Amino acid sequence: MQGLSKNTGDCYNVLITFLNKTMKIVSVSVVTPALNEVDNLRLYFNALSNQTFLPKEIIVVDHNSQDKTYKVATSFISRFKSLGVNLKVLQEKKPGIANARNTGWFKATQPIIASIDMDCRPDKYWIETIWKCFQNDKEISAITGKVIMPDGPFIVKLLTYLDWYRLLFYFLKVLYGFPHFPTSNVAVKKDVFVKVGGFDRNIKSINDLDDIDLSSRISLSHKIRYCSRMIITTSFRRYKRGNALKTYLHRYKRLLEIAKRFKRIKTKKA
């Protein structure tokens, strides 16, 4: 049994060495906040480990979870280390989604930061698509892509499969002067993120549109591109909570505030 165990271990080491030599690892940090996400961790990490290109770094920011999110997330560190990927699990005690995102984004060590949420599942070409987009167009500072919600109501499911987010991207660009990217599927150059000051720390809830706020400030001086090949699936769960109409009205009011500020700053710069 001992001999069999040793042989099995040797085969495993040979396999890992082979994978490390053949699998491309690129200079990307994937950053994701987590609040009571123990049930999503395994699927999240499986999706990232099955990428055609692996990121050099993955950062999970535990944001005051009351379950075993932190403990379970740290148990994956050795698995990613064997693949040549540096998994970091950080903790942020300050309330507010912007604080959780900033902790991970500012700690990222790679020149490109890719962002998804814990309930998102990137397709296997996600990192490869991000990397090639930045390599093929040196002028872009951020890219976003297709978000599919397979568990949403029929109309939501249909619209997201038909690339609703592409329409929204260009609609906001025409209507308000800047495009929108969701933090559930975006990649941004680290130096640009730092230059604009990161996420607004005063934003506490995702309904205050921390992602639209950031995209408006980046687009003042930098190019944002949409790529339909950059695909993730995500859960409709965030839209099921509480009063949906009240949430949408609050989001729309917040969008108008961001657009008004963008127009004012743009006018001053002209």
% of the chain with per-residue pLDDT over 90: 64
Helices 210-218, 97-107: axis angle to 10 degrees equals 50
Has residue 10 been placed in a domain?
A: no
Domain contains 5: no
Terminal Cα distance for the chain, rounded: 75
In terms of Cα–Cα distance, which of 109, 55, 46, 47 is closest to 84? 55
The DSSP H or E segment spanning 156 is helix 154-161
In a domain, 137, yes or no: yes
Domain count, the chain: 1
pTM: 0.88
| Residue 18 counted as domain residue | no
Domain range holding 162? 24-269
Per this entry, what is the length of the chain? 270
Q: Are 60 and 90 in contact (CB under 8 A)?
A: yes
Backbone φ and ψ of 189, nearest 5°: -70, 135
What's the CATH number where 53 sits? 3.90.550.10
Residue 150 has pLDDT above 90, yes or no: no
Whether 213 maps to a domain, the answer reads yes
**Is residue 2 in a domain?**
no
Instruction: Give domain status of residue 84, yes or no.
Output: yes
Q: Output the pLDDT for position 234.
A: 86
User: Cβ(204)–Cβ(97) under 8 Å?
Assistant: yes
Q: List pLDDT tens digits, range 16-35.
A: 444 554 579 999 999 999 99
Classify residue 8: in a domain, yes or no.
no
